[in-house]
């Protein structure tokens, strides 16, 4: 009988089916199921407040995966995430309140609308790269936010719009637990879709563009079309995340979508790991929990360190910046790489030198 604790070794793939499997062996699949089981059982372990933190992190993860499709996998930088979240949020708010659509139709539609807007702002990406593209997407951030603030007849200006929690056959997703499961389901779908996307022709084209766009074009990839695809698919998920956030927080306004949000999302995928789904989730959890952990930490330490609490915002910015710098220097591949290092450490122990 095979030892269930044995670590993988000497496994060979003997069919295309095995080669194409999402998880490379049965143990990985078991591990994934275990993790899923943890997240499904999590509300039983945690109080409402911790469930709400998990919900926030999960919604951020959907957006981070979206951004990672664009920046991590296709190599196109975007500083417009905040605004695209806003497009998703406002789209669903308007569709549910003014048009009267149900949540289940409005949210996917909000995703599609955001995809369309994203694709429009992606048009400059054919000519622009790197910093220049960053500036073009920054323009998206500024223009969309300006529209939200000033198109008062549609968006209600700075006062914002009120959004209702979704309903399904008379059941309202008003409790923390029900909304957590809803978001968890969407996150799972997003993660599985994205992992599969990069096993398809489109996804591989994205990666080819990232690695060397000229070579990709020579191979017959229509750069313009695929870059627009990348913007659209990425914005779709960001829009979905924005819509879910709107229904969660119930009120939306321009202050929810400022440039700081865009930077936080870039930090998520940077810290989590560019070009990795699991990294996006790590990054989202990390950035969502960082201010909370810092705040609690400062409250815990302040009896011993007087004056610490007076500098909370400063410390928050400092730690945020420091963590990004440390990651860029010591682990550019982010938390995902650290996670793999940890796995390797246990896998190879006590022969850690054997990997090098």
Partner 1 sequence: MNQNMKKKGFKHWWTMGMMVLAAVLLLAACGQETSGGTGNGGGSSGDDSGEVIRIGGIFDITGGTGDVGEPYAQGAKAYFEYVNEQGGLDGKEVKLFDIDYAYDVSQALEAYRRLTQQDKVIGILGWGTGDTEAMKELIAEDKIPYISGSYSENLTNVEEHPYNFLSAATYSDQARTAIHWFVENWTEDRPPRMALLYNDTPFGRSPVADAKAYAESLGVEVVDEQVVDITALDASSQLLNMRSKEPDFALIQQTWGATATILKDAQRLGIETQFLGLNWAAGEGVIPLAGDAAEGFIGVIPHAFPFEGLDQVPGLAEIEEYLENKGKSLDDINQKFVQGWHSAKVMLEGARLADELTGEGLRRGLEQLNEFDTGGLGAPVTFTEDNHRGTTAVRLAQVKDGQWEIITDYISYEE
**Residues 6 or more apart whose Cβ sits within 8 Å of residue 345:** 352
Based on the shown chain and the rule CB under 8 A, indicate whether residue 8 belongs to the binding site for partner 1.
no
Cβ at position 35, least distance to partner 1 in Å: 13
Cβ at position 289, least distance to partner 1 in Å: 6
Among 54, 64, 77, 244, binds partner 1 (CB under 8 A): 54
Among 250, 318, 322, 343, binds partner 1 (CB under 8 A): 250
When the beta carbons of 2 and 356 are compared against partner 1, the nearer one is 356
Residue in the structure block whose two tokens are 């699991």: 278
Rounded to the nearest 5°, which phi and psi values hold at 222?
-75, 100
Rounded-to-integer distance, Cα 293 and Cα 319, Å: 11
Q: How many residues bind partner 1 (CB under 8 A)?
A: 51
Instruction: Record the tokens describing residue 72, joined without a space.
Output: 């991590």
Residue in the structure block whose two tokens are 């659209």: 232
* Residues in region 188-247 near partner 1 by CB under 8 A: none
Mark 116-140 as b/e (b = at least 16 C-beta within 10 Å). Answer: bbbbebbebbeebeeeebbebbbeb
Helix (H) or strand (E) holding 40: helix 26-45
Among 13, 24, 36, 48, binds partner 1 (CB under 8 A): 48
Rounded to the nearest 5°, which phi and psi values hold at 173?
-85, 65
When the beta carbons of 208 and 243 are compared against partner 1, the nearer one is 243
Cβ at position 130, least distance to partner 1 in Å: 28
* Residues in region 311-350 near partner 1 by CB under 8 A: 311-314, 316, 326, 330-331, 335, 338, 341-342, 345
Residues 70 and 125: beta-carbon distance below 8 Å = no
When the beta carbons of 236 and 286 are compared against partner 1, the nearer one is 286
Residues 61 and 52: beta-carbon distance below 8 Å = no
Among 102, 158, 175, 200, binds partner 1 (CB under 8 A): 158
Among 166, 176, 236, 287, binds partner 1 (CB under 8 A): 176
Q: Which one of the spans 114-122, 186-194, 272-280, 289-297 is the region binding partner 1 (CB under 8 A)?
A: 289-297
Cβ at position 124, least distance to partner 1 in Å: 26
75 torsion bin: left (phi>0), alpha (psi -120 to 50), beta (else)? left
Helix (H) or strand (E) holding 144: helix 130-150
Burial of 209 (0-12, 13-18, 19+ CB in 10 A): buried
Based on the shown chain and the rule CB under 8 A, indicate whether residue 45 belongs to the binding site for partner 1.
yes
When the beta carbons of 198 and 339 are compared against partner 1, the nearer one is 339
Q: Site residues (CB under 8 A) for partner 1?
A: 45-50, 52-54, 56, 149, 157-160, 162, 174, 176, 249-253, 255-256, 260-261, 285-286, 289, 291-293, 295-296, 299, 309-314, 316, 326, 330-331, 335, 338, 341-342, 345
């Amino acid at each position: 009988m095979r030892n269930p604790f044995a670590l993988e070794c000497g496994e060979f793939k003997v069919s295309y089916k095995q080669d194409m499997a999402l998880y490379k062996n049965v143990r990985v699949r078991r591990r994934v199921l275990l993790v899923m089981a943890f997240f499904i059982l999590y509300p039983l372990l945690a109080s409402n407040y911790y469930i709400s933190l998990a919900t926030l992190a999960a919604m951020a993860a959907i957006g981070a995966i979206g951004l990672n499709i664009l920046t991590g996998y296709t190599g196109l930088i975007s500083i417009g995430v905040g605004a695209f979240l806003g497009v998703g949020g406002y789209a669903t708010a308007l569709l549910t309140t003014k048009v009267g659509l149900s949540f289940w139709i409005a949210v996917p539609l909000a995703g599609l609308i955001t995809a369309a807007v994203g694709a429009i702002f992606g048009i400059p990406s054919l000519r622009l790269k790197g910093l220049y593209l960053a500036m073009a997407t920054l323009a998206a951030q500024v223009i969309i936010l300006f529209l939200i603030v000033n198109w008062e007849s549609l968006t209600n200006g700075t006062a914002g719009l009120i959004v209702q929690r979704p309903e399904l056959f008379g059941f309202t997703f008003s409790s923390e637990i029900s909304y957590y499961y809803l978001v968890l389901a969407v996150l799972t779908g997003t993660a599985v879709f994205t992992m599969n996307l990069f096993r398809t022709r489109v996804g591989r084209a994205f990666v080819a563009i990232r690695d060397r766009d000229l070579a990709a074009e020579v191979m017959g990839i229509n750069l313009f079309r695929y870059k627009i695809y990348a913007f659209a698919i990425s914005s779709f998920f960001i829009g979905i995340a924005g819509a879910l956030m709107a229904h969660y927080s119930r009120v939306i306004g321009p202050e929810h979508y400022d440039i700081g949000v865009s930077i936080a999302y870039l930090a998520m995928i940077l810290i989590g790991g560019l070009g990795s789904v699991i990294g996006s989730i790590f990054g989202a959890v990390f950035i969502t929990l960082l201010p909370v952990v810092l705040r609690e930490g400062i409250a815990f330490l302040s009896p011993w360190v007087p004056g610490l609490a007076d500098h909370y915002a400063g410390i928050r910015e400092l730690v945020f910046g420091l963590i990004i710098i440390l990651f860029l220097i010591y682990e550019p591949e982010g938390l995902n790489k650290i996670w793999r290092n940890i796995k390797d450490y246990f896998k190879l122990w006590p022969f850690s030198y054997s990997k090098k």
